[in-house]
Chain A
Amino acid sequence: MKLGFLGPRGKKPGLLGRLSLHGGRSPEAKLPWTLAVASGKGGTGKTVLASNLATQLCMDGFKVAFFDADLGVANAHLLLGVQATRTIAQVLSGRLPLKEAALPSPFGPWIVPGGSGISDLASLSAHEFLRLARDFRPWEEGMDFLVLDCAAGISVQTVLFLQAADDVIVVTNPDFTAMTDAYALIKVLHQRDPAVRVHVVVNRIRYAGQEGHVFDRLQSVCRRFLGKDLGFLGGIPDDDEVPRSVGARVPFVVGAPGSEVALALRSVKEKILGLRGAVRVEEEGLRREGYGERLARVLRGSA
């Protein structure tokens, strides 16, 4: 960058120098708790849940960053009422820092929209991932939560994003394929990192107690074949408010706060806050690594 002294009328008398920006990390900066929302298959309601969860957290007074990690087929910004004037595509092409690609949703979260219709984004190289990882820190500093809406299914990209999160929320439905696909995702994650914390939300339940049955089945299989225990965040009912909110581009926690689905989502949120509180006590004073740094660390171990 060039700089100079502005004389009257803008003529440069010739004082030039290098500007060295103060960069680097702020060791005392607050770093967010990362929640990565995933599902083994598409259509489980993952994005609706992630966007509403992020909104509800904002309504509770938290500062939330929302990253649409479904890089090439982004739609979360639509649910959050944001026009995607900037997207992850500009970040990956080096035009913008990640922080400046973030747009404010009228409902609270800051969102970096994924690109749409750009197939290259769906398969980033390791070095592109690393560049992205480097860009997270300025954005995530000061935030309370970072919510990632990951692409459905099991892909290299998705697994990377999930591995670096503090907690993974797997969204499933009470149908056979949704459950088996959810298990498949959990299996891959567990094989990569047995310590990964996975919690389950059962979406579109049709009768009271159904979520418990679904979770028990999933938990039983995970224990039997992986030796892994899952967390249970609850169930979300199948509610007409959901398609209504999607059409209106207003999260249901805002547009219909008293609806069954909104109440259920709040219950999920409370459980998440409970998790965070417990771990915070254990890690008090130790959180110095942001999501970007963890993502880079996961990358290094992915060879």
Chain B
Amino acid sequence: MSMGPMPVSKRTTLAELVVKDPGLLERGLVLVESEIEIGPVRLDLLCADPGRRPVLVYLAGSPVEEQEIPLRVLDGDAAFRRHAPVLRKLFPGKGVDWDLPPRSLVVAEELSRRTMERFQAMTALEVDLLEMRSIRVKGELLWAAVPVGGEAALKSLLPPEEAPEALEDPRSRGLWNRVLERILKLDEGLEVLADKFYREISAHGVSLATLESGSRNFKVIVPRTNGSLESDKPPLVVRVEGEEEADRAVDLVIRRYLAIQEKLGASPRPREARLSWRDEEDLSLQGLERAVHSSRLTEEEISAFLEGEGPPGEGMN
């Protein structure tokens, strides 16, 4: 198996790939339009992310084009902001919130150090730098865009227990963190794959749940388990907007988790103690056992219940 930069020397080829499936750049990205020219500025793709934010995509198919990218990004951002009202009218209902500030994706087969340093200096803009990389497996070319720099890319690499930035509502962020923490505490062996908007959680190699972030709330998606771990039926989806939905979502995940364990005959990973307790190797219940087993009422005590005037209850003389 070989691995390395994809020989995409023509921007056309790159464009064909990403127009066909913008999700290859970033999961959940939806194409609005391609090859947009706003005056002298060219946007290769205009997309919307799951948070409905406009995403401007620039493709660099050659080293020369790569050198031009920083300037294109600067001009593109300015042009977009100036022409947002026009774009809003031209592309209604495309899943974009035109009031949100745009962000940019720069895609190339390989980005030079110089280009990356230039973008590091462009702190006013939110830019992700992606390199297209591929591997060939059993004759089939598989490829993916790998974030290599830019402030937004770095932020997406934060530990997955932090709620995605796209999830803006503070209450929803709290719910996200609590839901994720509860799920992760089920088993130390859970595997979590994270990106900007998603957390994919699996147990013993089987999909357990996916958390998908919106801007105001989020969804928990749990595959159905009807007799088998792989079901054709659509997954169960809970849109979490409050504690009740969060509890329902976690309940579904727990059911799925227990089903996975049962089906695979898997043992749970031992969970660490969450609090600091000292080691209790010498614990014993012997003292209590002695006390319990030796407890008997004396005749005097029993007789005391028979004393007194008149029976308080049945069975007493």
Taking a contact as CB atoms under 8 Å apart, the answer to whether B297 and A3 are in contact is no
| B contact residues around A187 at 8 Å (CB) | 295, 297, 301
- Indicate with 1 or 0, residue by residue over A87-99, a CB within 8 angstroms of chain B CB atoms: 0001001111101
Closest residue of chain A to B289, judged by CB? A156
A13 at the binding interface (Cβ < 8 Å): yes
B32 at the binding interface (Cβ < 8 Å): no
B99 at the binding interface (Cβ < 8 Å): no
| A contact residues around B285 at 8 Å (CB) | 125-126, 129, 156, 160, 299, 302-303
Distance in angstroms from A238 CB to nearest chain B CB is 11
Distance in angstroms from B48 CB to nearest chain A CB is 16
With A3-B160, A104-B247, A130-B280 already in contact, the answer to whether A97 and B192 are too (CB < 8 A) is no
Taking a contact as CB atoms under 8 Å apart, the answer to whether B280 and A99 are in contact is no
Taking a contact as CB atoms under 8 Å apart, the answer to whether B297 and A6 are in contact is no
Taking a contact as CB atoms under 8 Å apart, the answer to whether B144 and A13 are in contact is yes
Taking a contact as CB atoms under 8 Å apart, the answer to whether B181 and A21 are in contact is yes
With A9-B24, A15-B157, A176-B315 already in contact, the answer to whether A1 and B305 are too (CB < 8 A) is no
Bound complex: CA A137 to CA B274 (Å): 9
A192 at the binding interface (Cβ < 8 Å): yes
Of B280, B288, B314, most A-chain CB atoms within 10 Å: B288
Q: Of A12, A96, A127, A220, which one neighbours B308 at CB under 8 angstroms?
A: A220
- Indicate with 1 or 0, residue by residue over A180-221, a CB within 8 angstroms of chain B CB atoms: 100110011001100000000000000000100110110011
Q: Of B25, B156, B194, B254, which one neighbours A8 at CB under 8 angstroms?
A: B25
| B contact residues around A184 at 8 Å (CB) | 295-297
Taking a contact as CB atoms under 8 Å apart, the answer to whether B24 and A25 are in contact is no
Bound complex: CA A85 to CA B275 (Å): 27
A261 at the binding interface (Cβ < 8 Å): no
B271 at the binding interface (Cβ < 8 Å): yes
Taking a contact as CB atoms under 8 Å apart, the answer to whether B274 and A100 are in contact is no
Taking a contact as CB atoms under 8 Å apart, the answer to whether B193 and A3 are in contact is yes
Taking a contact as CB atoms under 8 Å apart, the answer to whether B295 and A5 are in contact is no
- The stretch among B58-66, B73-81, B83-91, B183-191 that forms the contact with chain A is B183-191
Identify which of residues 136-165 in chain B touch chain A, using a CB-to-CB cut-off of 8 Å.
Answer: 142, 144-147, 156-157, 159-161
With A183-B301, A183-B305, A187-B297 already in contact, the answer to whether A99 and B182 are too (CB < 8 A) is yes
Bound complex: CA A204 to CA B272 (Å): 46
Bound complex: CA A157 to CA B89 (Å): 71
Of B191, B276, B285, B296, most A-chain CB atoms within 10 Å: B285
With A5-B157, A174-B312 already in contact, the answer to whether A138 and B304 are too (CB < 8 A) is no
Of A11, A100, A103, most B-chain CB atoms within 10 Å: A100
Bound complex: CA A10 to CA B312 (Å): 74
With A174-B313, A300-B280 already in contact, the answer to whether A10 and B295 are too (CB < 8 A) is no
B118 at the binding interface (Cβ < 8 Å): no
Closest residue of chain B to A15, judged by CB? B157
Taking a contact as CB atoms under 8 Å apart, the answer to whether A159 and B305 are in contact is no
Taking a contact as CB atoms under 8 Å apart, the answer to whether A25 and B184 are in contact is no
Bound complex: CA A174 to CA B250 (Å): 45
Taking a contact as CB atoms under 8 Å apart, the answer to whether A3 and B200 are in contact is no
Closest residue of chain B to A137, judged by CB? B275
Q: Of A5, A154, A210, A225, which one neighbours B195 at CB under 8 angstroms?
A: A5
B124 at the binding interface (Cβ < 8 Å): no
Q: Of B185, B198, B296, which one neighbours A100 at CB under 8 angstroms?
A: B185
| B contact residues around A8 at 8 Å (CB) | 23-27, 144-145
| B contact residues around A76 at 8 Å (CB) | none
Taking a contact as CB atoms under 8 Å apart, the answer to whether B312 and A217 are in contact is yes
Distance in angstroms from A69 CB to nearest chain B CB is 15
Taking a contact as CB atoms under 8 Å apart, the answer to whether A96 and B283 are in contact is no
A173 at the binding interface (Cβ < 8 Å): yes
B1 at the binding interface (Cβ < 8 Å): no
A19 at the binding interface (Cβ < 8 Å): yes
Distance in angstroms from A97 CB to nearest chain B CB is 6
Q: Of B191, B255, B282, which one neighbours A303 at CB under 8 angstroms?
A: B282
| B contact residues around A191 at 8 Å (CB) | 291, 295
| A contact residues around B271 at 8 Å (CB) | 94, 97
Taking a contact as CB atoms under 8 Å apart, the answer to whether B24 and A5 are in contact is no
Taking a contact as CB atoms under 8 Å apart, the answer to whether B194 and A24 are in contact is no
Taking a contact as CB atoms under 8 Å apart, the answer to whether A6 and B198 are in contact is yes
Taking a contact as CB atoms under 8 Å apart, the answer to whether B185 and A299 are in contact is no
Distance in angstroms from B9 CB to nearest chain A CB is 21
With A3-B191, A156-B288, A213-B312 already in contact, the answer to whether A127 and B283 are too (CB < 8 A) is yes
Distance in angstroms from B130 CB to nearest chain A CB is 9
Taking a contact as CB atoms under 8 Å apart, the answer to whether B312 and A214 are in contact is yes
Which 10 A-B residue pairings sit nearest by Cβ, starting from the closest? A174-B313, A213-B312, A126-B283, A6-B193, A6-B195, A176-B315, A302-B288, A7-B144, A23-B274, A303-B284
17 contacts between A and B (CB under 8 A): A3-B159, A3-B160, A3-B191, A3-B193, A8-B26, A94-B268, A94-B270, A125-B285, A126-B284, A130-B277, A137-B274, A159-B292, A176-B314, A188-B291, A214-B313, A302-B288, A303-B285
Having A100-B254, A221-B304, one finds 9 other A-B pairs with CB under 8 Å, namely: A2-B192, A3-B194, A5-B194, A7-B145, A126-B283, A127-B280, A130-B277, A191-B291, A302-B285
